[in-house]
Amino acid sequence: MPYTADDLVLEVAQRLGVAPDGQGAEPESAEKIRRVLRAVVGDLDARGVYAFPDLDAIPDAPFLHLADVVAGRVYGNLGIGAEQGMELTAKEQAGEMKLRRLNALPYSRASARPLFF
């Protein structure tokens, strides 16, 4: 079942520590995450990393990686410290690499024919 933008906001808030487990994010924090969310998704699409055409139908495979990327981009807006910010930035970069891998063409398992000139 695909995830929604609300699911993503909650996941990002939990990764940032602004939403306790099992509870919703604080309204101010959720609004700050929502404001950045569309810009982050647009940037990922523009750079060819991964396209999310509908944020209310996020596929299962890239969901957690997208949460890492969004958390890495929004932590400064929520007053997260530099030490935790460095960890979030590293997870953001790893999440982006994983999104690139998911977006890559699948291995076809077919051998290439040699071409001689």
48-97 residue pLDDT tens: 999 999 999 999 999 999 999 999 999 988 888 888 889 999 999 999 99
The answer to whether the CB of 49 falls within 8 A of the CB of 94 is no
91-110 residue pLDDT tens: 999 999 999 999 887 766 77
- Would the pLDDT of 27 be above 90? no
pLDDT at 57: 94
The answer to whether the CB of 56 falls within 8 A of the CB of 5 is yes
The answer to whether the CB of 34 falls within 8 A of the CB of 71 is no
- Would the pLDDT of 40 be above 70? yes
pLDDT at 108: 66
